[in-house]
A and B are shown apart, each in its own frame.
Chain A
């Protein structure tokens, strides 16, 4: 702690801060552009000038850049000093000389950091009368719009894109007044984190192209805190809505999870909520055709189904905990399925099991960033959980921070730290079947078949802890690699092992768990992160249930009267003929979902569910953190959140005593009562009764427009806004708002004078620290209490991978864009998704035909020499819908067929 004096007022600051952070944390407004809490300081924009005095007797002082000056004990600075103010005014004036007269046609307008800072410095009239420099724009793909005229050369974009996210294709060009930030030539930005440029750019150079299509000003949109549903990381988001359509997703700061950045899948994946594939009516199959029927008719129809034999419920890893629990309550735990087929079912349960038993720490993303050695085993985390990949990339910087500490350079001094730390890279070791997007910052990459990777993992575990089972038959090369990995992990202070379900291999996850456990045995505070397939996979796994294979068996034995599927697409889990068999063997099939899937054709009853943008609920991410999402849009027409449909079903068959839930809080309380593992989920977010300063938090800004006109084309009469179901937020601008609201309830960021998302500084206890109002979600599973012994090491070692003649092991490739179910329905993601190709090593044919589940598929081939022989990669769930686990297939070349 140090005390500094800002304009005569003493303020406490944290050690190692710079003056800009100290000033902002003290609640004083000081304009800045190039500094970013996560990117550090480079002193490029000269905007945060303050006057510093040598001591109480120094009356002249000197102008310093606050972001480049450490806050030392007893420092005396003045923000309001006339000379400093004039300096800042002149800086913003010349930054604005070339800024175009664009604000009305700029997507950033109204939430623009440049607007805020210009107003803050008091610059209001342009004196510059000469010509403005102009630039031509580039087409940067479906996500990001480019308007270079607006650039003020703060360098934040390239610092984020290149330095932070490891992108290569965005750079600074030309010099002095001609500075240009873009690609060498027009083309889609390759980085999966390009969308963050929108939030990182302090003005409108990079704006959201998808949002621009249905643009609305920030002040006009309703916001609600949400949780990303597109991978198992569970990034916190704010979803914006206007006039019934979901407009955009932006980052919601959670100091332990996603902090300042999202991946593009999360940012653009919400499109499914508006898409034509949404189910919006209640459908009943009558004479082979779906007819629209009233909700009540459908519910009473279900009651007749229920009399016709046992009811089996299939939940889903993409549905909320509440929906899964409601289904489980309706059908009974013994008739509830997780909605996952083997091997995904077993792997997900295994992950939950490891989470509960491992002695290692399960890291949050922020913890991952603090690790100093990472071993990624058999999981391309950048593809399956992109935001985790970004955090792992930051972990490689750890050594450069230590180097900076040694040289007494503050860590926020970004350029110096990076320059000095070029040769100090914390080890990231990657063992995957093929190249990954993180290879560029990895010190070691090993490409092998899943079984060999698992063997490598076990070998590493054995090298770390002798008690772990030894792996027989390792090649010399493998032993060397294992030795290097073990050595690097043991040398680290905080080693991290990452694995996951991508390759469908339990051995891989066991191997990762063994390494982490072995490190713990050796006294290292190891962390273990297991990536799961879906947003709520961990929630479903902790709840437990039958696998789909078990359901198929029950159906075959005729034990299924009615099958209820809640938000699950069985065709992604089961091969077509197995789906066919299952549906043929059940007497009634009820589908509750928000988006169309191939199943809809077969469903006797189709009930429209609310997607997460239209409903409230809880999801458990891969680290076991329960997080609440709240509805931002009203469910339209008969659309209801799934658990309400299930509750109505229960009522129709006379089970309403157990499931008489009216609100989300009721369901949450019921879950917490019945399932001990979920006992704390109520702490994920405040309840619906939550009031801030005696009022509900408003979900619309105080300046929302068009209240009396927005539905006037329907009726000129004003309608009162109904209460938002399952949300503690007020649906209108009526309500309270403060910078100390709980992090789980933030509907939008705004502070006086700070209209952009940079106002986040005002909501944090300290910059980069927890939200003032708390609630970062609740970790349901804490570090295991169980004593670890070597008996717990998995001894289930796989055999060495042996290629087979005439067939090839087809591995599921995870694509950032296209593999995940819901985001694939979003037009933006579909546009970004590349066509599916088979990746194989060597000089192969350009097209192959493979036979899978009895169906012949003709697929294009792409050469990828990083793959070992005998293996091929093909995207999961894309053209081969049910393909998600390694499978031996016979490949025929097109020429051979001809």
Chain B
């Protein structure tokens, strides 16, 4: 079944935005359940329209730019962040036939390029706010995201080496016999952790650590500009979930159910897992986060590459 490309683009991006929006509500509901309370349940049946209410609130809030801010940069920062996340979805193969650029031969590199751009969003937001909390948040975000991008990339090399391709489509196809989560278990864990850090989600939300930095890099943001950061964060969660699905959980692959459903199930499961992490784990200290990255994740991912390479060479040699 060939669907025209414009429809794919529109539907994909709409779906991503929808997932991001709904996951804000799902997160609050789930957090409630984890904490033995109902969570938001007042707006609509089961609180389902909470999303709508939040969106309306966000849109109607005063869109305020602080007089001391660097205005153009201040306006640009959330747009950059949001665009980068959306563009990443461009290369995710949702089904064999449903992807904007699924077969791009440097798909994975494109994802990384976009993630690199997302750093700018946070750093620029922190910088342009002209606020010491925002700046501290921005600085933390820069260090954290740049560091974890290293391990993220290194952890993926196992998958790339095994699949022999940077194309996500090819990587999914390479998992038709065995999901990479099994041979690349170490890489998967490192990627997961790095993914959380990359999206600065709890427990690694140090750039916006509210108890010490107010709201971190987006302290001065309000209204829909804040909304864009907010959506970008949840879209980022969906993005990391989609990437893990694609890279380690066999993408759309699975028996009986149609490929799209398999993809959706895996992504939703991972999103819920991210929420569970948020509910369960406390935030580490900043120096703990950095030393964990450089002293544990980096060696682990290097070992993973060496082992994968050795096994591949051994298999090739045999």
A/B: CB atoms within 8 Å of each other: no
